[in-house]
Amino acid sequence: MQTENNTNPLTTPRLRHRRRSTEVTSDAGRANGDHLLVHDRSKYKSMLVRAYSTVWMIGGFALIVYMGHLYITAMVVVIQIFMARELFNLLRKAHEERDLPGFRLLNWYFFFTAMLFVYGRILSQRLVNTVNSDKFLYQFVSSLIKYHMVVCYFLYITGFVWFILSLKKKLYKYQFGQYAWTHMILIVVFTQSSFTVANIFEGIFWFLLPATLIVINDIAAYICGFFFGRTPLIKLSPKKTWEGFIGASVVTIISAFVLANILGRFQWLTCPRKDLSTGWLHCDPGPLFKPEEFNLSGWVPQWFPWKEISVLPVQWHAVCFGLFASIIAPFGGFFASGFKRAFKIKDFGDSIPGHGGMTDRMDCQMVMAVFSYIYHQSFVVAQTLSVEIILEQILTNLTFDEQQDLYTKLGEVLHKRLYGP
């Protein structure tokens, strides 16, 4: 009996298929390419929601800026709390935390300890200047400032001991992971916020201009990308396009030059705040905010109506801010996009309709705040001793009796110089 042989002597080679990358969403190609978002009718609803939220945010922001330095600082604190809440919840696991009562409270304990340390260092001298008319309050505040670092250190050590005592078997990995995550959040949130608050008290101008440029860049990139975007910019953000990036850069740089001229003419925005009062400010704006006239007769045709333009020197600094806000700061958003992809989430939160969470709106602002402070300290502030700096050191580091002794000796020295021995 002949057996049936189904074996084919010519074996067919196996085809190996490359695994598709999961880093890009399936609709990434539809977001760009030949399909414009403006032709996608479903996008108009989300655009209207986003625009509605933007109007409310800009209106509220303008009101807070008008109210002054303390209210802006309070706004920064509220933003910090929202960002911390969103980031704390990102790696939270309800199953583990059911067995760890009070563990979430420990994270917030570290948060407010860090807040006391950061704001105590930034606002200490301004607090002294506010209460220097009352001898008792002045001595009390001076003592608090003198021992501020000690108090914060022991508060942190208390939290550290609390954490060690809360460790539970089989949950060590989760608890130590949360401990490291909490400290990373504190570094990210308070590093940028300390620079932000420092900018505010150097003059609202140095806070308002960079923050506004980020908003302008974000809105311009969204609009340019919505109506003209075709070419994908980066895989981390499939909906970002080169058209939106370039268009937003042009708009941001022009806006920086024009906006600096407008904001730089208000003393309320340019004067530094030396105390924690809320009254209107009056000061010498300095050479950066004093207009200079430029003759354009040799550069423009005869029919051009303006033969001279008035430019504030600070506008050239604003161009640098515009360049950074349009070219470098967006990478803060790209970093956040990659971070969200790593954790497979769309947004950090849902506190702002159409925008996601507070962290989603602050990603570029954090990068810009640090740059603004470093630029201001490096290229704007004079790198010399001033009366204000010396006075701050005296009020902070000397006791009241030592200050009186210094006052007496300084009076004797000045008397000898004026009238001789």
Work out the average pLDDT over 369-395: 82
Tokens of 162: 């609390």
Q: What single string gives the DSSP state of each residue in 77-141?
A: HHHHHHHHHHHHHHT--HHHHHTSTTHHHHHHHHHHHHHHHHHHHHHHHHHHHHHTTSHHHHHHH
Distances (CA, A) of 267 to 205, 242, 417: 9, 39, 37
Tell me: pLDDT of 355 over 80.
no
Please tell me the distance from the alpha carbon of residue 7 to that of residue 9, in angstroms, as a whole number: 6
Phi, psi of 220 (to 5 degrees): -65, -40
Position with higher pLDDT, 409 vs 237: 409
Which residue in this structure is represented by tokens 């980020």?
Answer: 214
C-alpha span between 131 and 141 (Å, rounded): 8
Average pLDDT over every residue of 200-224: 93
Indicate the pLDDT class of residue 354, thresholds 50, 70 and 90: low
pLDDT of residue 22: 42
pTM for this prediction: 0.77
The closest alpha carbon to 124, from 206, 194, 66, belongs to: 194
Q: What pLDDT is recorded for position 358?
A: 85
Lowest mean pLDDT among 132-146, 199-213, 270-284, 399-413: 132-146
Is 161's pLDDT higher than 80? yes
Distances in Å between the Cα of 246 and the Cα atoms of 241, 295, 360, 364 are 9, 31, 22, 17
Mean pLDDT of 323-338: 92
> What's the sign of the alpha-carbon dihedral 387, 389, 395, 397?
negative
**For the chain, what are the domain ranges?**
68-202, 204-382, 384-421
Structure confidence at residue 10 as a pLDDT band (50, 70, 90):
very low
47-58 pLDDT per residue, tens: 787 788 888 888
10: left (phi over 0), alpha (psi -120 to 50) or beta: beta
- pLDDT tens digits, one per residue of 238-277: 778 899 999 999 999 999 999 999 999 999 899 999 888 8
Q: What is the arithmetic mean of pLDDT over 34-54?
A: 66
Helix, strand or coil, per DSSP, at residue 61: helix
For 129, what's the count of Cα atoms within 13 Å in the CB-facing half-sphere? 15
Q: Which pLDDT belongs to residue 277?
A: 86
Residue 18 has pLDDT above 70, yes or no: no
Can you read off the two tokens belonging to residue 169?
């078997």
Q: Which residues contact 270 (CB under 8 A, 6 or more apart)?
A: 203, 204, 205, 263, 264, 283, 285, 286, 289
pLDDT at 38: 54
The answer on pLDDT for 27 being more than 60 is no
pLDDT one-digit tens code per residue, 272-302:
998 888 888 888 888 899 998 888 777 777 7
Average pLDDT of the residues in 40-67: 80
Q: Which long-range contacts (CB under 8 A, 24 or more apart) does 306-315 make?
A: 310/261, 311/261, 312/260, 312/261, 312/264, 312/265, 312/288, 313/287, 313/288, 313/289, 314/205, 314/260, 314/264, 314/288, 314/289, 315/257, 315/260, 315/261, 315/264
Look at residues 332, 393, 317 and name the one whose alpha carbon lies nearest to residue 366.
332
Q: Rounded mean pLDDT of the chain?
A: 83
Q: Is the Cα dihedral 69, 73, 75, 79 positive or negative?
A: positive
Torsion of CA 134, 140, 142, 143, to 10 degrees: 160
What is residue 3's predicted lDDT score, i.e. its pLDDT?
A: 45
Q: What is the pLDDT of residue 421?
A: 64
Phi, psi torsion values for 327, nearest 5 degrees:
-105, -45
Asked if 247 contacts 224 with a C-beta cutoff of 8 angstroms, the reply is yes
